[in-house]
Amino acid sequence: MKFDSHKLDPGLWKIIGVVFLGPLMAQLDSTIVNVSLFSIQDALHASISSAQWVISGYLLALALMLPLNGWIVDRLGAKRLYLLCFSTFTFASVLCGEASTMDQLVCARLLQGLSGGLLAPLSQMMLARVAGTHNMARVIGYAATPVLLAPTLGPIVAGVILKYLSWPWLFYVNVPIGLVAIILAFFILPHDEQIGVRRSFDLLGFLLISPGLMCMLYGFEQLSHGEGIEFCLGGVVLLSAFGWHAWCAKAQALINLELFKNRVFTVATITQFFANGVVYAGQFLIPIYLTLGCGLNAEKIGWILAPMGLGMIIVYPMMGFLTDTFGCRAVAVSGILLNVFGTLPFLWMSCRGEVSLYLVGISLFARGVGQGATGVPTVAAAYASVSTAELGIATTAINIVQRLGGPVATTALAILIANSHVSSEPKSFFYPFIALIAIQLFVLISASWLPLRIQHG
């Protein structure tokens, strides 16, 4: 089934509605867990270091499975794999709620990571298959809009659950969503097309890239605490070895590096790396600035940060129209410039040593619109540049590069903050905001090489 007309078919709307439930459930779960980690730690009488593995274990399990996405899709098909991931994630959520020790909870979270990590790339790939190049940006924009609600709904849901129920319900909330999604996916998602040639399993590539990604992500996380350099170096060695192996193996490799001979795909993927870094670095820096530098409490900060999510929600449904009208390069570059302009007031406030909540709200709204305008046309350009047969392996490559951007940028910013000796003085945040703008300039340079328009096949 494929929809190529400019007008979205009702059947495509149904597919969008089903497909977005996967990443929505995974992101909502992650947000709830992040917000509630200390409550879970107290309930299970665990240390902070062991409780942190509830988050780190999920991230590492995700890194382990991500390189296998294209190969598994070749074997099981996108729909079967999506149903399997949904079912496993829902079952793992029950196991998380039933955990009586921190070790049991971490093990259940590992199972969640193995399944939940594939839901987002699978969603992207299935939408890319059915949308057609004419509707690529529009469909990605519509499908991503509900997922943006997760960071806003997560803290609210967590607060209600912890106030009226016990902590296991933080995970049980996934069960009704999962059951509804499984039933809808079974009846609505299109059947998998027969794949003519299936690639053999690249065992050596898997043994290099998955541990390499795990070492890199864990090392980046530890670098902010002054540790983890040996894991980063190990990750660099393993990933470099994979690069050499994949270059020699070509199409037989777990990730076919021949994809990166495609200029549009390469530029779009690099842009996504830096753009993801900007998102996570901003989410890391701005709350610290408002809390430590401006002395605001957590409840107030939650409301202050809302305009950024609102900006993204407003702009996402318009991305198809804007990209079709002005072209992907113009929209992406405009989004980055808007993001920069939304960051400059923070630089000005930190320089002057004062804060204006009205200016903060306007700036965050501009950043939200800018982030939304950067991501959609970039991802759409990447998918439109490859053939339908390459979508599975392209999805894997995009998601691996994109997911590394967040921890790289966040860790670099954390190290800068530690060495800048930030304090309750707003002026101490001047150089961290300079660094955030520098990352945005990298995105701007990369996006300026995007094609003027998405080429319709």
Angstrom distances, CA of residue 335 to CA of 143, 295, 319: 19, 30, 11
For the beta carbon of residue 50, count every other beta carbon within 10 angstroms: 15
- Based on its alpha-carbon atoms, the radius of gyration of the chain, rounded to whole angstroms, reads 21
pLDDT value at position 434?
A: 93
Coil, helix or strand at residue 337: helix
Torsion of CA 445, 446, 448, 453, to 10 degrees: -170
Q: Which residues of the chain have pLDDT under 70?
A: 1-12, 34-35, 38, 47-52, 56, 59, 63, 129-152, 155, 192-199, 221, 224-225, 297-302, 422-423, 455-457
Per CATH, 1-198 and 256-457 having the same topology is answered yes
Rounded Cα distance between 4 and 17, Å, is: 18
Q: Which CATH number fits domain 1-198: 1.20.120.330, 3.40.190.290, 1.20.1250.20, 3.40.120.10?
A: 1.20.1250.20
The secondary structure of 44-112, three-state, reads CCCCHHHHCHHHHHHHHHHHHHHHHHHHHHHHHCHHHHHHHHHHHHHHHHHHHHHCCCHHHHHHHHHHH
pTM over cut 0.85: no
CA 94 to chain centre: 24
pLDDT value at position 143?
A: 61
User: What one-letter code names the amino acid at 194?
Assistant: Q
What contacts 402, CB < 8 A, 6 or more positions away? 269, 272, 273, 276
pLDDT digits (tens, 9 = 90+) for 388-433: 777 777 877 887 788 778 777 877 887 787 777 766 777 888 888 9
Domain ranges in the chain are 1-198, 203-253, 256-457
Positive or negative CA dihedral for 381, 386, 391, 396?
negative
Q: Which CATH number fits domain 256-457: 3.50.50.60, 1.20.1250.20, 3.40.50.200, 1.10.287.130?
A: 1.20.1250.20
Rounded Cα distance between 133 and 251, Å, is: 24
pLDDT value at position 270?
A: 94
Coil, helix or strand at residue 9: coil
Angstrom distances, CA of residue 99 to CA of 82, 105, 168, 199, 240: 26, 5, 8, 39, 39
Percentage of the chain with pLDDT > 70? 83
pLDDT value at position 2?
A: 45
| Tokens 């509605």, residue located | 17
What contacts 381, CB < 8 A, 6 or more positions away? 264, 268, 328, 450, 451, 454
Instruction: Enter the DSSP assignment of 252.
Output: G
pLDDT digits (tens, 9 = 90+) for 43-85: 888 765 566 677 767 767 776 777 777 778 777 777 888 888 8
Find, among 433, 408, 443, 406, the residue nearest to 30 by Cα.
406
pLDDT value at position 266?
A: 94
